[in-house]
């Protein structure tokens, strides 16, 4: 299955929305929302060509299950930084 640049851009836009929701969920200690978002990232990252997002999603899902808020925060910062790189790369091409 070939994923177009437009599909990848939409995917990244949706992940940016997930990132904002994740920071809100972290602030309110909403592990269920973080688990759901992590699960979605884990399943879709590889499909859209972003393996690193899938890996962060898996780790976020596990951290949410454990309610490891320090790990969750570190993963959200990593996700934010990675999303900036991917977004910049896709705008340049």
pLDDT of residue 65: 98
Domains detected in the chain: 5-92 (1.20.120.160)
Percent of the chain, pLDDT > 70?
96
**What's the pLDDT score for residue 22?**
98
Instruction: Note the pLDDT of residue 54.
Output: 96
The pLDDT, as a whole number, for residue 93 is 44
For the residues 74-86, what does the mean pLDDT come to? 97
The distance of Cα 37 from the centroid of its chain, to the nearest Å, equals 7
Q: Are 65 and 44 in contact (CB under 8 A)?
A: no
Whether pLDDT at 1 is above 90: no
What mean pLDDT comes out for the span 23-30? 98
In the predicted model, what is the mean pLDDT of residues 69-77? 98
Sign of CA dihedral 2, 90, 48, 52: positive
Confidence of residue 90 (pLDDT cuts 50, 70, 90): confident
């Amino acid at each position: 299955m070939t994923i177009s640049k437009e599909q990848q851009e939409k995917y990244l836009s949706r992940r940016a929305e997930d990132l904002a929701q994740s920071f809100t969920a972290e602030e309110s200690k909403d592990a269920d929302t973080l688990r759901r978002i992590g699960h979605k990232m884990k399943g879709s990252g590889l499909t859209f060509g972003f393996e690193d997002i899938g890996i962060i999603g898996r780790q976020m899902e596990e951290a949410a299950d454990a309610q490891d808020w320090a790990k969750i925060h570190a993963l959200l910062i990593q996700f934010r930084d990675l999303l900036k790189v991917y977004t910049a790369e896709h705008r340049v091409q």
